[in-house]
Structure 1
């Protein structure tokens, strides 16, 4: 397979082209990279009324005392998102826990039946895996995703940026393993499905 075609198929699978949909809640997956870009994109989605409540999820990872969620939520409130809109989930240390712990908080506070749609917000290089994780652990609601591109290059130029390329290939390698382990559930409606067997 030609390198250019292979790169295109990997991009379509790992970072499917999707349009975020107005949702009952948004789930912002925690990060310690590109925080200003994450906050800017999340604020723009809020201002465009894409969500009514925002779960900011992420624990004290990487040896840091302050949780990812606390850092992000403080910046988001300072930028103008009301405090009563934000729900803090500050214990999770991986994507599965982001979803499971956030779901538990919502069920305890509002009831699971109140959530019919979820907008995932997170790293663009992990866009498909976010949706697959949500489908595995929170299968009922409709789902969409907004991928934050904090790498400083256009999405279609991902392979020209060393760190962007590394992260995309890491996702491409681990998604099949996570599927085998039962951590994810595939979504055939996502763009790019199913190129994995053809690309490897």
Structure 2
């Protein structure tokens, strides 16, 4: 399905904003956040091979979108993918319970603490459109570590092609931005400045019905 250029222009605004633009650098640990997207495991494995982290944590249970594709859990499927790509088994820890970004961070932190592994910096690997959300969540829940965001170096067009559903990608971009706007007040992440042109693009996309990944107003107590 091809979407109108005006829609993709607004989607590009949201996509560009979500990317942190941080260059990967050596950290204490690389944490791959579970999702439907195996490229997160691919990027994490590549960063490990480049010497950016001596240890990898994959975190994630299953969701409605991954239950059938990843029946053993997102983290476990990521682990298997990374091993296939050359990451040693003994360099990978698996956190199999997390079902959202906050739990990804909290449970990974707890696992590393239980293992007695000192952490001063985290290389956080996510889907491209969730770089900023992952960063903001980690800064809130793990404030004493340096956080570096990373993802697959893809354009929005490339990502749409990889997913095969342009409307779903735009829905996900809108949902990700909504969380950046509302979650700081709920204590889930740090607050970040959202440029007005990004807010305007977000509102236009909402008005055009790209809402399937939004948190309903009722769930926000509004």
Q: Is the TM-score greater than 0.5?
A: yes
Aligned residue number for residue 62 of structure 2 = 60
Distance 1:16 1:8 in 2: 14
Identify which of structures 1 and 2 has the higher relative contact order when contacts are C-alpha pairs closer than 8 Å and 6+ apart: 1
Give structure 1 stretches of 5+ with no counterpart. 188-192
Give distance in 2, aligned partners of 1:165 and 1:61: 19
In structure 1, the residue corresponding to 2:21 is in which secondary structure?
Answer: coil
Distance in structure 1 (CA, Å) of the matches to 2:191 and 2:31: 19
- Name the structure 1 match of 2:37: 34
Q: Is the 8 A contact 2:58 2:92 kept in 1?
A: yes
Q: Residue in 1 aligned with 2:203?
A: none
Q: Distance in 2 between matches of 1:4 and 1:97?
A: 32
- Partners of 1:30 and 1:198 in 2: CA distance: 26
Alpha carbons 1:34, 1:150 under 8 Å: kept: no
Superposed counterparts of 1:42-191, under 5 Å = 42-62=44-64, 63=67, 65-111=71-117, 114-148=118-152, 153-154=157-158, 161-186=166-191
Indicate the larger mover: 118-127 or 43-52.
43-52
Higher normalized strand content (fraction of residues): 1
Distance in 1 (CA, whole Å) between partners of 2:191 and 2:156 is 29
- Deviation (angstroms), 1:150: 7.0
Long gaps (5+) in structure 2: 1-5, 201-222
Taking structure 1 as the reference length, what is the TM-score of the superposition?
0.81
Structure 2 length as normaliser, TM-score?
A: 0.74
Runs of 4+ more than 6 Å apart? 2-5
RMSD over aligned Cα atoms: 3.0
Aligned length: 189
Q: Output one character per residue of 1:39-91: Cα deviation in whole Å (capped at 9) or x when no partner.
A: 32222211111111111000133345421111110121122101111011001
